[in-house]
Structures are given as C-alpha cells and as structure tokens.
Amino acid sequence: KEKKRSPIPVETIREIQNACLEIDDDLRWLVALISDTGMRLSEAAGLAIEDICLDHEVPHINLRPHPWRRLKTQQSERQVPLVGAALWAAERLVAEGEGQWCFPRYINTEGCNGNSASAALNKWLKVNFNSEALVHGFRHSFRDRLRAVNCPTEIIDQLGGWSANNVGGRYGAGFD
C-alpha cells in the first residue's frame, strides 16, 4: 500500500524556513527554495546558477531540462516566481555559488542525485521538526496554500508544472 504524502502545516513550514535562515548552508538553501516554489526536489537540486533570474521585475527561475537533469513532464518546463524563503535562497545561491551548478554535491556530468538529497533533507526534517514532514510535502503544501487564496487551478497547475487535466487547459500559451 502506498503511503499518503501529507502536506506540511504552514506553521511548520515557517519554523523550517526560520531554521534555514539561521543555519544558512547549501542544504538549507535547497529546503528554502522548494518551500516557497512548489518545485520537485530533483528540479531544484539540478539547477544551474544561470537558471536563476534575479534582475527581473519578478525574480524567477527558468526551469528547463539540462544534460544532467531531465524534467518529469513537458509542463515541468516553466518560469517559477521567487518569493519569501525561496527568493532568499536564490540570492544566497547566486552570491555564494561556485561553478555552474547550484548544488554541486548532488550533480555531476552524469546526472543529478535527487535520492541522496531527499535522504539527507528528510533526515534533517524528521530529527528537527515533525516525523510526518517530508521534502515532497512542501509540494503538497504549495498547492494547498494556493488553493487557500483562491488561486485559479490553471495557474496552480502552471506554477507547479502539473499536467493540465483537461483539453482546454492545454490550449494557448498559459499565464505570463
């Protein structure tokens, strides 16, 4: 039986984000980045520094496939707005980054090791926060947080890189 992946409560997300600000290292930048973007862990772990666009009206990540990391679906290629803890993490990555990759401990020319990142981050979350808090829970929480402010489903799907569930959702260029 597949275990249900639970969203992380907003209060717990805030605690985790505050801990990320205090510890201020690459693992916490990765957690902070996914906490306010809804990105999949492997999407974030496989980022290149050049994917981060801070000098735009809306700072964002150009999420696209790379030779070392493919994307799950065609809809996964998208622009991801940076706000809150994710914006802080992106600024830290650009300021402190060395080389082409944001998280070189998880990437080499052969690929991106999302499983290793997941194990390390889930261990940190479990020990320090809530035994139910898993990295993928940020993605579930992201969707719930957008629902809570009555964000249209089509925008939620585009932000999270989820496939459109209907034919009409696949028409047009989407939201800018």
Quick one: pLDDT band at residue 141, thresholds 50, 70, 90? very high
Rounded Cα–Cα distance for residues 92 and 86 (Å): 10
Q: Is the pTM of this model over 0.75?
A: yes
User: What does the pLDDT look like over 74-102, one tens digit per residue?
Assistant: 888 999 999 999 999 999 999 998 899 99
User: What does the pLDDT look like over 49-69, one tens digit per residue?
Assistant: 999 999 999 999 999 999 999
Q: What is the dihedral of CA 35, 38, 40, 46, to 10 degrees?
A: -70
Asked whether the beta carbons of 133 and 16 are under 8 A apart, the reply is yes
Q: What is the CA radius of gyration of the chain?
A: 16
